[in-house]
Amino acid sequence: MTIQTTPTQAFAGQRPGTSGLRKKVSVFLQPNYLENFVQSLFDVLNASAPDGLGLHGQTLVLGGDGRYHNRVAVQTILKLAAANGVRRVLLGQGGILSTPAVSAVIRAREAFGGIVLSASHNPGGPDGDFGIKYNASNGGPATETLTEAVYARTQTVTQINISDAPDLAIDTLGVQQIETMQVEVIDPVADYAALMRELFDFDLLRGMFARGFTMRVDAMNAVGGPYAKEILEGELGAPVGTVVNATPLPDFGGLHPDPNPVNAENLISHMARSDAPDFGAAMDGDADRNMVVGRNFVVTPSDSLALMTAHAKLIPGYKAGLLGVARSMPTSAAVDRVARALGLPCFETPTGWKFFGNLLDAGRVTLCGEESYGTGSSHVREKDGLWAILFWLNLQGATGRSVESLVHEHWRTYGRNYYTRHDYEGVAVDAANGLMADLRAALPGLLGRIFGSRCVVLADDFAYNDPVDASVSKAQGVRLIFDDGARVIFRLSGTGTEGATLRLYLESYEADPARQDIPVQSALADLAALADQVAGIARRTGMSGPSVAT
């Protein structure tokens, strides 16, 4: 085998979005498309490392969610890594590693960084999406400075260094060699499971299952399956069959692996049966998202974060208390109320997990979460689906209470933040940009305006001043905040691959326990109408309602 240097030409549009470079599989299948991006990444890493050595002598972690093209991409990346100075790659067996597991392995093995192959919750298969993301040595997504540098490099890259070695045996555990680089195929679950053992009371959980506690985890034919099976069924003694759709499939068996009530409808209907298990949960394509479900009861991610914060001291890994909490701006303010009551710092960041990284690294927060079914803690630098599920399991074990009763009690104590997100998908890009531009222009006139019984007390385009590195992120979403705590937020998705997706986030606060059980969409119907009145959503998109409301 030898290292080849082959000429290449730049591709337009290789700018990573909210969470890496995501495109249709057909785009990634173009000759040199993946190679250009990875070569650009390696060029930037080689040029930017402070010691001048770059990747030389370093270890990278590699794995993906098993979607279509995962196995081919793994082989290509190994050959590129071997030709660009990497000393060692830790590869998940079969090319498999969940996103939180990549983060855990980078941290546990003190690797230089890692590459995650995933398009998260986007559908997979030949007609679906593929994605690639780089994580740094803290285990978290690369900074915007780095991803921008990679993007710039993709525009000027002219050659690819790649080994012509034959494919590696990626299903066989152990060490192999490619050029001078070692490839160690590792058990994808082991490091992650060890971390979970440190955080949760596994004896308590084993006791719960031994006494007949029932649970259903829907892994949606995605990468969370092997993790949930090994930990829940293997180590904790949950009955075989507790984890369903547990084998990662290249096309997720046709499922849309996004754990929300719409896409995980099977789990929702199962949990509504009279013989429903005690606890239900689902994860997304790369197992960083989670949905928590009680009997005929779905917990919103915003409430999940608030309850975790309120009860953290009951969980062994957090018994010393929390340093602080953080939520993305569109996530409901339910956690703010708990933080205030407990005297904890509470941060509001732009959408995207990467903004939590600095706060976690600086020891300012322990828990963080997003409305988009993402919750996590300082144990890794990604959100973590199975971690959230184990947290809720441990919480039920420690309190002896069901999911439903825990949430109802929470609302009685803190009040309820009614919350929904309306997605308008496949909107023409110009129409979506026009809507946002006009809204931004209208902001000064909206301040102080009265809508029914509510008055707008804040109308702005959210900007974030990172308290750790003082960087500023502007234009992160238009906010209308009302005098009664209600919020209406507009932003465009940064992860979609077709047209634009307008996200509308609606929230209202209800302190009165007698009014805390209204169906969510009715409770927020007036705010939805207000949003349409202000932004002309129906008129501009030609859609009479959202494509998805969760």
Owner of token pair 């754990």: 259
SS3 272: coil
- The residue range among 154-162, 293-301, 366-374, 395-403 that interacts with ligand G1P, by the rule CB under 6 A, is 366-374
Q: Which is nearer to ligand G1P, 186 or 436 (CB)?
A: 436
Question: How many residues are there in the chain?
Answer: 550
CB atoms closer than 10 angstroms to residue 482: 23
Determine the angle formed by the axes of helices 334-342 and 301-311, rounding to 10 degrees: 10
- The residue range among 44-52, 68-76, 272-280, 493-501 that interacts with ligand G1P, by the rule CB under 6 A, is 493-501
Does 67 contact ligand G1P by CB under 6 A? no
Q: Which is nearer to Zn ion, 371 or 510 (CB)?
A: 371
d(CA 20, CA 150): 11
Q: Binding pattern to ligand G1P, positions 13-32, x when CB under 6 A? A: -----xx-------------
Nearest to 518 by CA among 529, 528, 509: 509
- The residue range among 142-150, 332-340, 367-375, 465-473 that interacts with ligand G1P, by the rule CB under 6 A, is 367-375
> Pick from 288, 370, 371, 384: which binds Zn ion (CB under 5 A)?
288
Cβ(98)–Cβ(319) under 8 Å? Answer: no
Q: What is the 3-state secondary structure (H, E, C) of 95-160?
A: EECCHHHHHHHHHHCCCCEEEEECCCCCCCCCCCEEEEEEECCCCCECCHHHHHHHHHHHCCCCEE
Cβ(472)–Cβ(463) under 8 Å? Answer: yes
Does 290 contact ligand G1P by CB under 6 A? no
Does the active-site annotation cover 120?
yes
Cross-strand partners of 508? 418
What's the maximum distance between 2 C-alpha atoms anywhere in the chain? 74
Q: What is the 3-state secondary structure (H, E, C) of 394-419?
A: HHHHHHCCCHHHHHHHHHHHHCEEEE
Does 14 contact Zn ion by CB under 5 A? no
> Pick from 161, 493, 497, 508: which binds ligand G1P (CB under 6 A)?
493
Least CB distance to ligand G1P at residue 120 (A): 5
> Pick from 202, 227, 252, 353: which binds ligand G1P (CB under 6 A)?
353
The interface partner of residue 503, options being ligand G1P, Zn ion, none and the CB cut-off 5 to 8 Å by kind, is ligand G1P
Q: Which is nearer to ligand G1P, 351 or 508 (CB)?
A: 351
Does 352 contact ligand G1P by CB under 6 A? yes
The interface partner of residue 18, options being Zn ion, ligand G1P, none and the CB cut-off 5 to 8 Å by kind, is ligand G1P
List the end-to-end C-alpha distance of the chain, in Å, as a whole number.
52
> Pick from 133, 311, 503, 540: which binds ligand G1P (CB under 6 A)?
503
Q: Binding pattern to ligand G1P, positions 298-337, x when CB under 6 A? A: ------------------------------x---------
Does 221 contact ligand G1P by CB under 6 A? no
Catalytic residue set: 120
The site for ligand G1P (CB under 6 A) is made up of 18-19, 120, 328, 351-353, 370, 372, 374, 493-495, 503
